[in-house]
Structure 1
Amino acid sequence: MKHTPLVLFDRDLVARVSPGKRDKVLWLHGYTIDSSAWSELWELLPDWDHTGIDLPGHGYSLPLPASENLPSLARRVARSALARGIEHIAALSFGTLLGLQIIIEFPDSFRSLTLGAPALGGGPQDSDVGARYEELAAIYRREGFTPELRRLWMQSPPNIFKGAEAHPALWNRLWRMVGKHPWWELQDGSYGRLSNHRQSVEQLRNSPTPTLVLVGDNELPAFKRCGELIRRYLPNCERRYLPSLGHLCLLEDPRAVHNILEEHWTAHSRKLEAYA
């Protein structure tokens, strides 16, 4: 596995980087994992310049400040990304909320957005996931950090990690990642503050960023519905279903996904424009 050094992305956000000669891509991971989740995809996309941040309270990044909400976090991440010349965004699950908010706040600044397992602020939510989150919060209030949090979160149902069960190497990597997650957000509800921010139809309609929505055939119904709403309301959006994949569709079969990502980025690359 290629070594990916850590850098300070913003004042309290750490990122992994993997330089390349093509456009720069910002990666936003899902809840309770971290930027090391992208390693297999990055190895399959060596020509692209990758930056994967650890979301607040994940990996090496500090917790979400009490004063921060989804729009302010999106503005902060976007400004740091633009200062580094980043042009594309790829996001998974919870990270898609942030990715969407970035193109709402900066509708003309990025060349493309990719959303895997799309979520929509104020949109459909899976009741089993919500119930499990409340169960985790109750355990954390009662016992603090405990391995039981990981066991419950990765248990199916809800089927967030079910697709990974068929890929032992991926499952083991995710098991280690989630095992390191500190769960600080269960104490202060900070991630509820992010996920409950409403992303309106009007905001989506005013965001022309070319967007690719990727949905696994075995995705949770609420996320499929979010994908349909995003496809319907973003003015420049394509949705594709991925056979046999589940919620973590960008991670479960990187070899099936990387060509799709590369096609999308290439179609909206500044280098392609230069030769047009």
Structure 2
Amino acid sequence: MTIALPPADWLTVVGRRVRRRITGDGPPVVLLHGIGRTLDDFAAQHELLAPDHRVISLDLPGHGGSAPLDAPHTLPALAAAVAEALSTAGITGPAHLVGNSLGGAVAMRLAADDPARVASLVLVNSAGFGREVTVALRLLALRPLGRLLLRPHPAIARRAERAIFHDPAYVTEERIGTALAAARQPHAARVMLELVRSLGTWRGVRPQWREELLAAVAALDLPILVVWGDRDLILPAHHLAAVRARLPRARTHLFADTGHMPQIERAAEFYTLVNEFWALPAARR
């Protein structure tokens, strides 16, 4: 059973506007999107999960319809902002965190910084497990090339969407339009560059924050599921080997013929897998 999604609305968090969508009732689930993206990347999962869960999806600070932070946009700053948004929305107890790409790293950071807020982690093609990342993001770390590459242009948006999905049928005009609208926000390029340059260089993702974060997450007594698409062009699927080495108690799953967003390309399978994971005794504590 699914329900029709209401439009996203806005929450005021410490005087800053945050775009969010909240539906359903039950155990809380928080859905976190990737860099340069919006909560719309979780629309299908939001609809599937809402009959049995209290589901909240957010535009991260400076993304989509959410205002930017006053401070620089870094991984700890995003995690703290998510915690503030959850408190303002009345979600103060443990929640299942589901994060795609950058959203996975934000979820891990939040779990490491405030473990009482987290019931489990579902990491979807998550940042943080390896150095390799698409050349498009690495080039953003180069000045002044970064701002040039972030110009909002239909051809650039279409190319980016095409890199995200293995099946080109998911590269719809609606998704391209959403990406363009997000890129046209006056602060979008600044936020993107701050994040990219804090997390990596033109050589790839910095090891320092990855090592510290994975060590902190490995020390938590927390149920973790990590999934990947085998045709991911953004963060390669062989990062799953690092998951198994660094988080040996985590469950893993590889989706066949799937790109960077299994929650969209394999929506029903993803939903079933996540629900089965949450039904396990360790995830229901």
Following superposition, the deviation at residue 172 of structure 1 comes to 3.1
Quick one: distance in 1 between partners of 2:150 and 2:28? 42
- Aligned twin of 2:67: 62
**Which of 13, 23, 29 lines up with 1:19 in the alignment?**
23
Q: What pairs with 1:263-274 in structure 2 (closer than 5 Å)?
A: 263-267=276-280, 273=285
- Aligned twin of 1:165: 168
Whether 1:246 aligns to 2:252 is no
Quick one: distance in 1 between partners of 2:281 and 2:98? 13
SS of the residue 1:153 aligns to:
helix
Change (3 A) 1:13 1:119: farther
Is the Cα contact below 8 Å between 1:90 and 1:114 reproduced in 2?
yes
Change (3 A) 1:223 1:144: closer
Count of paired positions: 265
Change (3 A) 1:240 1:25: same
* One-letter amino acid matched to 2:189: L
- Aligned twin of 1:199: 210
Change (3 A) 1:202 1:32: closer
Quick one: distance in 2 between partners of 1:75 and 1:236? 26
**Which of 11, 34, 38 lines up with 1:34 in the alignment?**
38
Q: TM-score of the superposition, structure 1-length normalised?
A: 0.81
Is the Cα contact below 8 Å between 1:13 and 1:55 reproduced in 2?
no
Following superposition, the deviation at residue 242 of structure 1 comes to 1.1
What root-mean-square deviation, in Å, do the aligned CA atoms of Structure 1 and Structure 2 show? 3.1
Is the Cα contact below 8 Å between 1:97 and 1:119 reproduced in 2?
yes
Quick one: distance in 2 between partners of 1:40 and 1:66? 32
- Aligned twin of 2:160: 153
Quick one: distance in 1 between partners of 2:127 and 2:249? 17
Following superposition, the deviation at residue 95 of structure 1 comes to 1.1
* One-letter amino acid matched to 1:178: A
Task: State the Cα deviation string for residues 114-172 of structure 1 (Å, max 9, x = none).
Answer: 01112107x322252335546897373499544454244335xxx3x23241336xx33
Quick one: distance in 2 between partners of 1:91 and 1:74? 11
* One-letter amino acid matched to 1:16: R
- Aligned twin of 1:2: 5
- Once structures 1 and 2 are overlaid, which stretch shifts more, 100-109 or 123-132? 123-132
Is the Cα contact below 8 Å between 1:89 and 1:114 reproduced in 2?
yes
Is the Cα contact below 8 Å between 1:141 and 1:187 reproduced in 2?
no
Quick one: distance in 1 between partners of 2:268 and 2:149? 42
- Aligned twin of 1:140: 147
Change (3 A) 1:88 1:61: same
- Once structures 1 and 2 are overlaid, which stretch shifts more, 8-17 or 128-137? 128-137
Following superposition, the deviation at residue 33 of structure 1 comes to 2.2
SS of the residue 2:183 aligns to:
coil
SS of the residue 2:55 aligns to:
strand
Q: TM-score of the superposition, structure 2-length normalised?
A: 0.79
* One-letter amino acid matched to 1:257: F
SS of the residue 2:63 aligns to:
coil
- Aligned twin of 2:181: 180
